[in-house]
Chains A and B, each alone.
Chain A
Amino acid sequence: MTDNAPMMPILRVEGVSFVYDSPIGGKSVQALNDISLVVETGTILTVIGPSRSGKSTFLRLLNRLQEVSGGGHLTGTILLEGRDIYDDSYDAYQLRREVAFTFDKPQALDLSIRENILFGPRLAGITRRDELDGLVEETLQAAFLWDEVKDRLDLNANRLSGGQKQRLSIARSLALRPKLLLLDEPCSALDPVSTAAIEQALIKIKHRTTVILVTNNTKQAARIGDRTAFFLMSDLVEIGPTRVIFTNPNDQRTDDYIAGRFG
């Protein structure tokens, strides 16, 4: 599957397949099958597809987070700004700062709101007080959470609501100053108001930080995506401008999924 992008791509995925190691006594599972696509700088790519289609695995491969949660075998290459992220010379920890990740379940470290945001920057070695303070305000603003928490930054983050925690997660990811932000169904457990805030935030940040959003909510994919990819049973069925995918897809299966005929 080729995909000619007009802008300079930040990410190029070439022929990526992934097989999960067999759990004891079980069969190994093909999670991704020959995926190729590019993501342009400054855009939002939304990834849709039914569950178990490989979307989340795909996302976790993009910042090598898959390595820490279980074994598997990867073939193909993933290039971030032209550099192979699975090359031995690429520091996985540095990569995870460049390609940040937000999980589906809202979760906070058992620390204050401020220290949640600063956890990543401190690990990266940032110590200047004014720089850290600036990061806190800047990222909370970007995640539309600043106004709600600016007077209680020292409150334990676990006291926040689910929607607030998820926006905190996005702020925490942005505090790494990533080039690329990956989000794995970030709104699956949230109310419509928090969902809207997160969507707004993503649209606002995409000019600085390219976004890949995996979602089960096709309407959300249509609302904020510049381009959309449709995964089905480990395959990338189709990728293209979101408008085209949702109005005039090439593949009948894409049409069926979007129309809600399965999934």
Chain B
Amino acid sequence: MRGIAFGFLMTLLLLFVASSAWSQRIPFYAEPALSVGKQLKGRFSVNAKFVFRQQFASINEQQLDWFSQSDVVEVQLFLNYKILGSKRLTFGYLYGLDDPFLTDPAWEHRLMQQFTFQSGNRFKWVNRLRLEQRFSANQFRNRIRYRFTFDSPLSGSKLDPKEWYFVAGDEWLYNFTGKPGEDHLENRIQAGLGYLFDNGHKVQFEIQYRWLRMLSSREASAWHLLLTYNLNL
């Protein structure tokens, strides 16, 4: 019961902060995604993730403009190698399009290398360290990011089918290009609820607050509503 109360309180708190932010005219995005995993032979597994981001509002001369516009479409492919003790090495590739339905969308190819390890029993802490090399039409960027996430079932000490769980996390991202003035720091904090189905699939809803270009004069923030469906073949 305490778990349920905690989970709902945290989510409600974030919703409250989000609504406050709305009145302060912070851009708002919805980000549905589908994640498909498949265990291969031995220690290897693969995962494909399809992300679609829709922008619903932005600030224009201190006014909140309400509109709906496709922002990003991404396809991500990952190859995982499982190490004993809940550790994983992952290599990934991403192909993304900004403003995908315009006549000349901006493309990006991204290579990713990540190491994840998990600890905890009831509260599972997952630490993820990821390196990214981002190639686009007019520039090359590096990014290093560290994320810790935890989830906890809202009933019992382990997650069983047909049960809800609480999930929360924080991520730090540092973008660097080697060019002065272009490096920047970003933080993403998120919380939400998930549900495990009988068939092992999960659906997860999270609210994410992004603090962009921290410590810079171009500092900004955004709200993202994430809805992810995870299935394993």
Q: Do A and B assemble together? A: no
